[in-house]
Amino acid sequence: MTSGRKAKASQRRKSVTISARVEPATARALDRLATAYNRSRSWVLNEAIRTQAAADAEYLAAVDEGLRAAEAGRLIADADLDQALARRRAAGRKRAA
């Protein structure tokens, strides 16, 4: 099979196999989750990895956005940030009350 064919064949696969070593406590927690969800270990691991990867991608995008803003000189003074956060906290408390 040529490398182009191999690439196309691997793109058609629904999943790939990876292996990892985990601590015994982590394996037990994984088994408890799989039982609770009535799913396989693989399903629980896939969901955990997918969720973490999405969260990390969102975080890294926010960091990149912040770095671009800083490079463009769009910065907020500490005092202004403190005031803005205090207003947000106050508004949140009003909504919760």
Q: Is the pLDDT of residue 66 over 90?
A: yes
Q: Which two tokens stand for residue 15?
A: 């999943």
Give the separation between CA 46 and CA 40, rounded to whole angstroms. 10
Residue 20 and residue 41: Cα distance in Å, rounded? 13
Q: Is residue 13 part of a domain?
A: no
Number of domains in the chain: 1
Q: Is residue 6 part of a domain?
A: no
The verdict on residue 54 lying in a domain is: yes
Domain membership flag for residue 12: no
Residue 96 has pLDDT above 60, yes or no: yes
Q: What is the mean pLDDT of the chain?
A: 89
**Is it the case that residue 61 has pLDDT exceeding 70?**
yes
Domain span at 81: 22-96
Assign 5 to helix, strand or coil: helix
Is 7 a domain residue?
A: no
